[in-house]
Amino acid sequence: MNLQEQIRKVLKEETNYIRMMLRRIPSRILEKMDEEFGSSLHYVSKIFIKSFKSDPGLLTEEEFSRMVIMDLLTSLSVRQYFYGGEMSEEIIDGLAKQLTKHYQERITSMYNVLIR
C-alpha cells in the first residue's frame, strides 16, 4: 500500500467516530454499552414525562435522541478516552450522530410511546 492510500485509510477511520470510539474505549466498558443505552433511554424518558409533559412541541424527537445519546456518552465516561479528556465538538457531534443512527429504532419507538 502506498503512502497516499495509507493516509486516505487513516483519514477515513478518523471520521468514523464509532470506529474511533471502539479503538479507544476498553472492552469492559463497551460490553455494557447496550445496557447503559437502555438506562439512558429510560432516564431521559422520565425527564420527558416530568419536565416536558410528553409534549412533542416542547421536546422534538431529535432533541430527545440527542439527550439520550449525550447521557449515554456521559455514563460511559467517553471523554476520558479521547485526547486527555478533551473532545472537540466535531467528535461529539459525529459520535452522537452515528450512535443515534445505531439506536434510532429504539429511540423512535420509545418517543412514540411517550407522546401518546
Q: How many domains does the chain have?
A: 1
* pTM of the predicted protein model: 0.82
Q: 60 or 8: which carries more pLDDT confidence?
A: 60
Angle at the Cα of 11 from the Cα atoms of 28 and 78, rounded to 5 degrees:
30
Residues 6+ apart with CB under 8 A from 91: 17, 20, 82
65: domain range? 3-114
Distances (CA, A) of 17 to 23, 79, 82, 115: 10, 13, 11, 31
Confidence of residue 42 (pLDDT cuts 50, 70, 90): very high
